[in-house]
Every structure is written in C-alpha cells, then in structure tokens.
Amino acid sequence: MPPEWYSALWSTPRQWELALPVVLALVLTTVIGLEREAGAKSAGLRTHTLVGVGSAVFVLISKYGFADLLGQENIALDPSRVAAQIVSGIGFLGAGLIFVRQDAVRGLTTAATIWLAAAVGSACGAGLPLLAVVATAGHFVVTRGLQPLARATRRRRREPPMLRLRYTDGLGILRTVLERCTGAGFAVAQVSVERETFTDDGVRVAALTLLLQGRGDLAGLAGELAELDGVRSASTGDDGPRDDEEL
C-alpha cells in the first residue's frame, strides 16, 4: 500500500512505541483512583484513570501528532501548545467536585487529586516516567501520611475568640456590646442570636454568640461586659470542633 494512501490515518510510524506511556499513565492513575475509591470520594477509580490517560494522550498528540507536517515549507509547531491546555482545562472538572455544605467547603482534596492525576498522565506522555512515579508516591504521602499530622495540628491550633452573652432584650445592649468589642481590639466576624426566653416576671432575655477576630484580652472583655446594666451573663468558649474537609 503506497504511503500516500494512508498518510492521513498514520502520521507517524512510532505509534506502537507511544502506547507505552499511555499504559504507564493507566497504571499509575489507577493506583491513585483506587485510593480515592477506598475513601468513598466523589471522584474515584474511573474518573482519575480517565483523566490520567486522557492527559497522556493529549501530550503525545501535542508532541508527535503533527510530525508529518514538519517537513512542509513554512510550518513550525510548538509541541507544548496542546499540553498547556490540560492545566487550565482540568480546572473545569475539578470545580464541579467542590461544593459548600453548611458553610463548609467540601471536595477540595478530591479536586486536587484530579489535578495531580492529570499531571501524572502528562508526565507519562512527556516521557518523564520517573517524575510520574514520584508524583504518584507523593499523592499517598499527602493523602495518607499527612493525616495524623493534620489531626494533631487541628487539636493544637488556637480556636477563634468566642463570646457568649445573655442579656435583657430591648435596652440597646447589643449596640454597646459591639462598641466594647471593637474598643478592646476585636473585630466582630459573626453575630448569632441563639434563642429568646422570658423570665418569670415577663422580661425577655436574649442569648447571643459573637465570633471575634483579634488578639485582645478576651477574658477581660467578658468581665467588662458582664458589668453592663442588663447583661445577665458573659462567658468565653467555642462551638466545638469545626467541620473541616477530610483528606
């Protein structure tokens, strides 16, 4: 069969060799996907594997897919042009995995592993198998090996200043409380009215939680607010553990 008959179908004779990087990307991203699948994440085995294999194929196309055109006059190709689009293009897939539930961001780690799977596949397609293997090993170091360190850090980190108040409603106390917090060096990040109750004599009492930002004297501020007319109690504390994303 003369070459001109199938030149459009077979642009380079190295296609069997180019299948090896795709197979390597398949193996490495399957390993990453299995780890995500075991953790019951929203993107598991098939997603990570397809992303890795697709990235490898795109890089190979970018490098070798237009080799038959290089011999023609006035044609110059940039082998990185297709591969460069993987970095930005994979962001759309990762963005679909991120969502917010009860003011907590979920899916960030899974979106990052999708990005890493694309990088591993790209490294395989670019002829950098050692880099791809190291990146795959790094995935397990981060997602599994750093979990104890992350938990220890969460236990030791300083909780945001929290102030709880119970005061008689209708006396304009909230405005005074906010002014005192600002004067003590704090910024009020969140105000939450938890409940309103009535005393035996019909006085309405409000329960308030203030989430503060700053490094002022929180205990001193609580003592100062407790002395205000109409303030029944003032205490410091937190709402318990915060809902962080799992690795």
pLDDT tier for residue 124 given thresholds of 50, 70 and 90:
very high
Backbone angles phi, psi at 241, to 5 degrees: -60, 140
Name which residue leads in pLDDT, 151 or 234. Answer: 234
Backbone angles phi, psi at 165, to 5 degrees: -130, 145
Q: Where is mean pLDDT largest: 83-97, 134-148, 163-177?
A: 134-148
The gap between the terminal CA atoms of the chain, to the nearest Å, is 56
- Which tens digit of pLDDT belongs to each residue from 63-112? 887 766 766 777 667 777 777 788 777 877 767 666 555 445 567 788 88
Dist CA 95 CA 43 (whole Å): 12
For 199-214, what is the mean pLDDT? 76
67 burial via Cβ count (<10 Å: 0-12, 13-18, 19+): middle
Identity of the amino acid at 131 = L
Name which residue leads in pLDDT, 21 or 231. Answer: 21
Q: Which residue has the tokens 């689009």?
A: 85
Q: Which residue has the tokens 């996907």?
A: 33
Residue 7 Cα to chain centre, angstroms: 46
Model's pTM, two decimal places?
0.58
Q: Would you say 195 and 220 are in contact if contact means Cβ atoms under 8 Å apart?
A: no
Asked whether the predicted pLDDT for residue 204 surpasses 90, the reply is: no
Name which residue leads in pLDDT, 29 or 158. Answer: 29
Token digits of residue 163 = 């102030």
pLDDT for the residue 134:
95
pLDDT for the residue 199:
67
What percentage of residues in the chain have a pLDDT greater than 90? 17
pLDDT for the residue 20:
92
Locate the domains of the chain by residue range: 3-154, 162-236
pLDDT for the residue 244:
38
Tell me the pLDDT of the chain averaged across its residues.
77
**Fold classification of 162-236 (topology level):** Alpha-Beta Plaits (3.30.70)
Q: Which residues pair with 167 in a beta bridge?
A: 206, 231
Dist CA 31 CA 25 (whole Å): 10
Q: DSSP readout, 12-25?
A: -TTHHHHHHHHHHH
Backbone angles phi, psi at 15, to 5 degrees: -65, -35
Dist CA 118 CA 89 (whole Å): 10
